[in-house]
Amino acid sequence: MRKDIHPDYKEVKVTCACGEIFETRSTKPEIKLDICSKCHPFFTGKQKILDAEGRVEKFKKKYAKTLA
């Protein structure tokens, strides 16, 4: 095997937008996340629907006939 072809693999700090901080290993010096397992709706069981310009209502209205 050739030597010195792999990048450095070291412990780094991962920071989420919710404030959660944990450590993992990576080739990057620092990792910043928008969403993690502490704040993701799949893991928390809390669904957040962000409605931009009535898109959710438009979708429900469009497909209401097929669901009923």
CA 3 – CA 57 distance, rounded (Å): 58
CA 55 – CA 16 distance, rounded (Å): 28
Q: Which of 1, 2, 36, 42 is nearest to 20 (CA)?
A: 36
Q: What is the pLDDT of residue 21?
A: 93
Q: What is the pLDDT of residue 12?
A: 95
What are the strands of the beta sheet with 30-33, ordered from one edge? 21-26, 10-16, 30-33
Locate the domains of the chain by residue range.
10-67
Q: What is the pLDDT of residue 40?
A: 75
Note the pLDDT tens digit of each residue in 11-50: 999 999 888 999 999 999 999 988 888 887 766 677 666 6
Q: What is the pLDDT of residue 25?
A: 95
Is 10-67 assigned to CATH 4.10.80.400? yes
Q: What is the pLDDT of residue 29?
A: 92
Q: What is the pLDDT of residue 24?
A: 94
